[in-house]
Structure 1
Amino acid sequence: MAEVSMIVPVYQVEKYIGQCIESVLNQTFQDFELILIDDGSKDDSGRICDFYAAKDERIRVVHTENRGAAAARNTGLDQASGRYITFLDGDDYLADNMIERLHQVIEDSAYDMVVCDFLNLLPNENDNFIVHLKERTVNGREVLEHLKNEKSYGVWTVVWNKIYTREILKNLRFPNGKYFEDEFFSNQLYLNSNQIHVISDVLCYHRVLASSTMNTQKTENYLDLLDALQERLEIYMQYDYSEDEIYKVLIFLLDPFTRCVKAKFSGTNKHRIENTKKFIKMTSRKLMSRELPFLKKSSLVMIGLFPNLTYRIAIRFRSQLEKFL
């Protein structure tokens, strides 16, 4: 049994998967298994994975039909045997000491996971940036209630800049068939997490490609983001989270909601939009009974009645409104 299981969903990344795999093989920490899930790639990605697996017995390749990143990661979780688990995307790569450093911090500690900083590699290299995380220890509620709502470039949502204990992931899976699967996963992850340690080391190199999923989302896909944000708001209300944080996430929800309203969906998708509107109205009404500043309470009246119109007006006058809200 390996100490660390590394799970990599692979889809149409023939240009990058070799570098990804090499960065794992070159780790200073060598007690790992690398599980490559070829998610029905039509290019040479699967064959490249097989080439490396034939050379190193620590590499396992599972070929499946195309089912999406969530199903691929779930397959990897079902296959994993390590005491600790990490994820990596097939077009990303690691610093040589990433696993050693993360394992060093989490081993013999009470942490459920350890989080590291990463370098975002954008199409224009002049736009590359790191997040500049500071070392500290937080708990799951603090992340879910506060940190996920701060500007953090997905640090608390993505899964590939962390090492996890096997136990914390034992009953967790990604939602099959959903877009924004990390949003759903992180809701349950932090709800069930205790101690989380953050280190400032930049250990992962994440490519943000022009063709990446986040950059090519269809409007219909944002229906799943609506569901994920509604789930988070339900958690906030159930566990009596801060009124200000509930308000923030409600405002986040208005963006994908307005996108979907403008798309003029019909059938099942239209019904999902109507249900989201009812949810916004209900949440606004509940929030009005909580302790909030007068201007926020006043805005909830408009949000509950005319959510997409309110959002369009708010965006137009955003700079002025931010001074008050």
Structure 2
Amino acid sequence: MAQISVIVPVYQVEAYLPQCIDSILAQTFTDFELILVDDGSQDRSGAICDEYAGKDNRICVVHTQNRGAAAARNTGLQRASGNYIAFVDGDDRLAENMLGRMYAAILDPPCDLVVCNFLHVFSEEKNNFSPPLQNIAISGREVLAHQKNQKNYGLWTVVWNKLYKRTVLETLRFPEGKYFEDEFFSDQLYLRCASIRVIPDVLYFYRVRESSTMNTQKTRNYLDLIDAFRARIELYLEQALPVDEVYKILIFLLEPYAKCASAHLQGEDRRRLLQSREFIRKTAKILQKMDVSPMKKCSLPVIGLFPCATFRVAVKFRGLLEKYL
């Protein structure tokens, strides 16, 4: 049994997949299995997976119908046998010491999750950048307490710059059929992590493509992002996490809500939007009764009654509002 299971959901990435797989096979840490889940690709991605599997017995290939990245990752988790889990997107690549550096960090001192820094890789190299990170140890609840502010320790909702202790993921799966699945996944993940190590090393290279899923979202798909923020607000209230953080999540929810409200959705999509409208109103009322600043307390009735208008004002006066709210 390998120590680390590396899971790669593969879909329509034939141009980038060889570089991705090569970067994994070139790791200085070699005690891993590589699970390539071909999510019904129509290009040569599936064939490329099979070609690599014929050359290295550490590679397992699973071909499935197209069901999305969440289902592909879940399929990989079902096949994984390692004590630790890593996710890699099929168009990204790793530094050759990533697995070794992360494995050493998760063992000493023992922790549930290790997070590394990453580089945004654009088609024009001059635009590449990596966010600033500090070498720290924290708990999952601390992360949740600062998820939507500047002190979030660099622990974004993305899943691919992390090494997970297998036991943390035993009962945790990605919501299938949802867009923005990382948003749903991350909250439950951090609740399960008593100890997290953050290291500033840039070990993951995230390719930013105009044709990627995040950059081609249809307006109605933002209903799923609204649902993710709604679930997060409910979780924060249930777990008695900071009310100021709940307020910020509510503010973040206004953007996808405004996108959907302006799209004249119909049928089931319209019903979901109206439910979200009522959720915003009720949440604003709940927060009004809690210990928030006078400025926030005054803003909540407006948010509850006029969410779209509030978002437009927030965008126009963002700098000023961030200073006082």
**TM bin (shorter chain):** over 0.9
Q: Which structure 2 residues correspond to residues 97-176 of structure 1 after superposition, within 5 A?
A: 97-107=97-107, 109-150=109-150, 155-176=155-176
2:233 alignment partner AA: L
Answer yes or no: is the 8 Å Cα contact 1:148–1:157 preserved in 2.
Answer: no
Distance 2:232 2:65 in 1: 31
What is the TM-score of this pair, normalised by structure 1? 0.97
The Cα of 1:321 is off from its aligned counterpart by 2.6
The Cα of 1:138 is off from its aligned counterpart by 0.8
Residues 173/158 of structure 1: CA separation in 2 closer, same or farther (3 Å cut): same
Which residue of structure 2 lines up, in the alignment, with residue 273 of structure 1? 273
Answer yes or no: is the 8 Å Cα contact 1:68–1:177 preserved in 2.
Answer: yes
Q: Tell whether 2:218 aligns with 1:218.
A: yes
Which residue of structure 1 lines up, in the alignment, with residue 252 of structure 2? 252
Which residue of structure 1 lines up, in the alignment, with residue 82 of structure 2? 82
Distance 1:284 1:147 in 2: 19
Distance 1:161 1:283 in 2: 33
The Cα of 1:29 is off from its aligned counterpart by 0.5
Which residue of structure 1 lines up, in the alignment, with residue 309 of structure 2? 309
1:212 alignment partner AA: S
The Cα of 1:168 is off from its aligned counterpart by 0.2
Distance 2:324 2:150 in 1: 18
Deviations 1:267-320 (A, max 9, x none): 111111111111111111010111112111111010011111221122222233
Which residue of structure 1 lines up, in the alignment, with residue 43 of structure 2? 43
Partner of 2:308, secondary structure, is: helix
Distance 1:206 1:216 in 2: 17
Q: Tell whether 2:42 aligns with 1:71.
A: no
Partner of 1:129, secondary structure, is: coil
Partner of 1:70, secondary structure, is: helix
Deviations 1:26-58 (A, max 9, x none): 100101100000011111111111000001110
1:115 alignment partner AA: V
Distance 2:182 2:55 in 1: 32
Distance 1:224 1:179 in 2: 6
Residues 132/42 of structure 1: CA separation in 2 closer, same or farther (3 Å cut): same
Partner of 2:309, secondary structure, is: helix
Q: Tell whether 2:314 aligns with 1:291.
A: no
Which residue of structure 2 lines up, in the alignment, with residue 187 of structure 1? 187
Which residue of structure 1 lines up, in the alignment, with residue 15 of structure 2? 15
Distance 1:8 1:174 in 2: 14
Distance 1:151 1:195 in 2: 17
The Cα of 1:240 is off from its aligned counterpart by 1.2
Distance 2:76 2:265 in 1: 35
Residues 261/240 of structure 1: CA separation in 2 closer, same or farther (3 Å cut): same
The Cα of 1:153 is off from its aligned counterpart by 11
Distance 2:33 2:211 in 1: 29
What is the TM-score of this pair, normalised by structure 2? 0.97
Residues 194/116 of structure 1: CA separation in 2 closer, same or farther (3 Å cut): same
Deviations 1:113-152 (A, max 9, x none): 1000011102322110011211000101111121454387
Higher mean C-alpha displacement, 223-232 vs 104-113: 104-113
Distance 1:59 1:100 in 2: 18
Partner of 1:62, secondary structure, is: strand
The Cα of 1:104 is off from its aligned counterpart by 0.8
Distance 1:179 1:154 in 2: 22
Answer yes or no: is the 8 Å Cα contact 1:11–1:40 preserved in 2.
Answer: yes
Residues 202/178 of structure 1: CA separation in 2 closer, same or farther (3 Å cut): same
The Cα of 1:110 is off from its aligned counterpart by 3.0
How many residues are treated as equivalent by the alignment? 325
Residues 249/187 of structure 1: CA separation in 2 closer, same or farther (3 Å cut): same
1:193 alignment partner AA: C
Residues 154/109 of structure 1: CA separation in 2 closer, same or farther (3 Å cut): closer
Runs of 5+ consecutive residues of structure 1 not aligned to the other structure: none
Partner of 2:73, secondary structure, is: helix
Which residue of structure 2 lines up, in the alignment, with residue 33 of structure 1? 33
Distance 2:232 2:150 in 1: 15
Runs of 5+ consecutive residues of structure 2 not aligned to the other structure: none
- Identity rate, percent: 58
Distance 2:151 2:294 in 1: 25
Distance 2:86 2:195 in 1: 17
Distance 2:232 2:180 in 1: 13
